[in-house]
Amino acid sequence: MSAIGIHDIHAATAHHVLDLDLLAAHRDVDPAKYRLGLGQDRMSVPAPDEDAVTMGASAAAALLRRTGTDGIRALLFATESGVDQSKAAGVYAHRLLGLPPQVRTAELKQACYGGTAALQTAIGLVARNPDDRVLVIASDVARYALDSPGEPTQGAGAVAMLVSADPALVEIEPVSGLSTADVDDFWRPNDRDVPVVDGRLSVDAYLDALTSAWDDFRARGGADVSRIDRFVHHQPYTKMARKAHARLAEHTGAGIGADLIEDGLADNRQIGNSYTASLYLGLCSLLRRDDSLAGKRIGLFSYGSGSVSEFFTGVVRPGYADAMRAAGGMDLDARAPLDLDAYRALHASSGARSDDAETPRVTTAPFRFAGVRGRARVYEATA
């Protein structure tokens, strides 16, 4: 069987940004707690006419301009900030992207692990029919209660990936280490807009899941730690990925330094958590910043609270650096800054709703959420 993996990747984020120093001042917290303690500088905040669908479709539209849509037989949309309990977010994206009807479209959910569930499902579909290509979209708005411990780790972002045989960027290797454990560390009941979080437990559950998935990875013949050249760990905030890397070093007894994760953290510091997209924003950040990766192996650790986790590896293909350069990336400085009052007002008004209402026109992204008409969500192109 030929190699299967990520043929192209594109990331997008939300319209607004909040500097965490403003939040620290409001909460009477030392700004170093956020910058050093959590490893976060700023966070993306969606405009009123943005959500997981608009960000995901915006990321995918940029990708499809390069790849075209030929051979795409499935659109798998991973999110835990879905906009409907029944209709898949991917169905809205399918129309916005102008995909043909002959596409299998579905939504996948398991907290932040959903993006990896979609990627591995896509690989399985391509293995079955190697001429098929699968569009994977991971997109989320990470929103916590105002004034809660999770508030400074909020964020928003999306990653689109085209999965195919003979991929141009990263071949995903077949061995995976898996770990599922029923833990109440973070969940969002149906009647709540924000999650219920046991922050301390979530950190421990994440680290336990990492060693458990790693042990399974090794037991199944996965590469020895010394044969992994870079690591990208799920990043609810970048300090968590540092903790993960230190735990893996301790667990394996290997001298894997923090330099092996650095390039994968850079974008997340500016964006915040993006749940399902977070690991793949990290991968994108690494592939864009390090042009010495051809033939190198990347270890990827995916964690979704609740919990499901997976450790797997990808080998970077020759020519990836030119492809990433040609594709270009997000301009994080183009986001519109919010002051604290505007941020809090936006947060307070951004809960779920299904009554008819028009949405103010704010975002400059390719797609927007226009509002609810006849109790149905309406999405449209901005241009």
User: Which of 15, 16, 80, 245 is an active site residue?
Assistant: 80
Confirm if 305 and 112 have CB atoms less than 8 A apart. yes
Compute the least distance from the CB of residue 36 to ligand HMG, in Å: 4
**Least distance (Å) from ligand HMG to the CB of residue 234?**
6
Give the residue closest to ligand HMG by C-beta: 37
The C-alpha atoms of residue 67 and residue 52 are separated, in whole angstroms, by 22
10, 234, 245, 347: the catalytic one is 234
Taking the complex as a whole, the smallest distance from the CB of residue 206 to ligand HMG amounts, in Å, to: 4
In the complex, least distance from residue 186 CB atom to ligand HMG, rounded to whole angstroms: 5
24/370 with CB nearer ligand HMG: 24
Decide whether 30 or 341 has the Cβ nearer to ligand HMG: 30
- Whether residue 112 lies in the annotated active site: yes
| Residue 234 CA neighbour count, 13 Å, CB half | 28
In the complex, minimum distance from the CB of residue 308 to ligand HMG, in angstroms, rounded to a whole number: 9
Place of tokens 């519109």: 336
In three-state secondary structure terms, 161 is: strand
CA distances from 348 to 105, 145, 152, 167, 352 (A): 32, 9, 16, 43, 11
80 is an active site residue: yes
Which CB, 56 or 150, lies closer to ligand HMG? 150
Kindly tell me which of 112 and 163 has the beta carbon lying closer to ligand HMG.
Answer: 112
Q: Classify residue 85 by burial, with Cβ atoms within 10 Å: 0-12, 13-18, 19+.
A: exposed
Least Cβ distance, residue 210 to ligand HMG (angstroms): 11
- Is residue 234 annotated as a catalytic residue, yes or no? yes
> How far is CA 64 from each of CA 23, 168, 206, rounded to the nearest angstrom?
37, 15, 34
Preceding omega of 302 cis (within 30 degrees of 0): no
Alpha-carbon gap, residue 182 to 307, rounded angstroms:
6
DSSP-derived 3-state class of residue 17: strand
Positions in the binding site for ligand HMG (CB under 6 A): 30, 32-33, 36-38, 80, 111-112, 149-150, 153, 186, 197, 199-200, 202-203, 206, 234, 236-237, 240, 273, 275, 303-305
**Closest to ligand HMG by CB, 72 or 112:** 112
Written as one letter, the residue type at 270 is: Q
CA 240, 285, 314, 254 torsion: positive or negative? Answer: negative
Distance CA 222, CA 312 (A): 8
Looking at the Cβ atoms of 154 and 359, the one nearer to ligand HMG is 154
Give the active site residue among 7, 112, 151, 310.
Answer: 112
- Which residues are designated catalytic? 80, 112, 234
